Chain A
Amino acid sequence: MSELILENVSRWYGNVVAVNGVSMRIGPGVTGLLGPNGAGKSTLIHMMGGFLAPSSGSVTLDGTPIWRNPGVYRRLGLVPERETAYDFLTGEQFIVAMAKLHKLPDPVAAARRAIGLVEMEYAAGRPIGTYSKGMKQRIKMASALVHDPPVLLLDEPFNGMDPRQRLQLMDLITRMAGEGRTILFSSHILEEVERLASHIEVIVAGRHAASGDFRKIRRLMTDRPHIFLVRSSDDRRLAAAVIADGSARSVQLTDKGLRIEAVDFQRFTWLLPQVSRDAGVRLWEVSPADESLESVFSYLVAR
């Protein structure tokens, strides 16, 4: 079990602050590093991967600093965002070379295992230059897995993948996490993080905006209006009752049902069944309309 710890980490380039006083602990399981483009995700991953010195603060893996410590790569696998690999090598040659660079006892066997993990056996004999984006992403993944590291850092791993490849990679990441690995991946695509990560760290404009379970983060923002879609036996009557009750800021009648903007998440979810029962209306469906990371983002950015 490995733990990556960032303590009060900042990084600036000249006068521009890219990352500002971020502290986080990343433990076993899948952690999603989430933020809009330009938020400082790559800068953070580069510091965790030992490619950038923090301007202040410390980044450590199980107590040892990562910066200027190549020994740390025995326990760390990194999948860079850029899609370049050595195009003139075949997939297998590339992974075997990576295994040799790690000085593994049986590089060929280790390479086969890693290629098998990402299901690239069928193309292992072809030069990487002929691979599609998704295939390159998977062979890069194999290169990071070849030495079986307890910690994996993935910078925007799903970029350029088609939906099927995306699902495959999600399965693989979930499996790796199930084996007790510490996995961190960055993304600006909401569904990916939502589907995959048990834990989320949100970075907005270089600052650590939120941390924790996605739904918990969402709940924490009680001062934020939540939008629900509600279908019922009598939408008009329910709308009147909800407005009268005062737990909603606005109610809109739409073709698909009621669109209710609640002021207080918990109060609303607790009161809605009572209000509808008192009004004699049957609830057919209550679904949060904006329980997506997009809305969390825009809220955090606006705040």
Chain B
Amino acid sequence: MNGTIAMITFRAMLGRKRALLLLGLPLLLLVLAVGLRATGNDDLDVSAQTLQRFGLATLLPLLALIAGTGVIGPEIDDGQIMYVLTKPIRREVIVLTKLVVAIVLVTVFAVVPTLLAGLVLAGTTAGLTPAFTVGVLVGGFAYSAVFVALAVASRNAVTIGLLYALVWESLLGSFAPGAKSASIQQWCLSITDALTDASPVRSSVDLPVAVTLLIAVTAVATFLAAFRLRSLPVASAD
């Protein structure tokens, strides 16, 4: 962890128009929650569906995509990363710092809003709110690690990430059961499922498998990002 890199990254992330993007989605979730509550549509079933569909399956991957790719992708694209790479700092430290910043951003803009939306919708009923909060938090680690690695590895990280989150997890997941099991979303849902007795929350992946895969994916992605950054090719101007 390097404080200077973290400071620069936070300023870059929160100073751009990207910050509005970060803020928009969670606001939408909160407005939705308050709306449902005000119109009396806040039974357990609807609340669970809202938190799952909007919080865990949409807000989380999109926020993690914006934060995970945003902490390092633009810096690589416009060459600013040179200023960090030409310092006697281990590449692992750079990647870990970027990852921590992404996780902090995901926590502020996805985990906390999920918690607030849960409290508005279901209060503490059936442990629904803490279960989703933990699920989104754990998912935030895994998604951030994957998207940071993707941003280091490819200039098309955002496109690839969107394809993964929207096409693979959401679309294919509803048709092919196999694809469903190989998705961060389902692993997080498995953890949420284990923490709440609300019946609408069901995951197709067993808890031990989900936990193992989440840890493995986070660790492998972080390692790959650091490895790749050690030999980051710089686009030659020649």
Contact = CB atoms under 8 A, between A and B. Distances in A.
A143 interface: yes
A127 B86 CA distance: 22
A51 B82 contact: yes
Contacts, number: 85
B5 interface: yes
B12 interface: yes
A208 interface: no
B80 interface: yes
Nearest to B78: A84
A77 B86 CA distance: 8
Nearest to A83: B79
Interface stretch (A94-102, A113-121, A212-220): A94-102
Among A40, A71, A72, A101, the most chain B Cβ lie within 10 Å of the Cβ of: A101
Nearest to A206: B238
Given A97-B4, A101-B4, A70 B87 contact: yes
A70 B229 CA distance: 12
Contacts of A101: 2, 4-5, 83-84, 87, 89
A84 B79 CA distance: 7
A97 B238 contact: no
B238 A39 contact: yes
Interface string A65-108: 00010111110111011101110110000000110111100000
A87 to B, nearest CB: 9
Interface string A41-52: 111001001111
Given A18-B236, A18-B238, A101-B5, A85 B80 contact: yes
Contact of B234 (A40, A52, A84): A52
Interface string B11-35: 1100100000000000000000000
Contact of A73 (B7, B8, B11, B88): B88
Interface of A: 18, 37-43, 46, 49-53, 68, 70-74, 76-78, 80-82, 84-86, 88-89, 97-98, 100-103, 143-144, 155
Interface of B: 2-5, 7-8, 11-12, 15, 78-80, 82-91, 230-234, 236-238
Given A46-B236, A89-B8, 8 more contacts: A42-B236, A51-B233, A52-B234, A52-B236, A71-B88, A84-B79, A88-B15, A101-B89
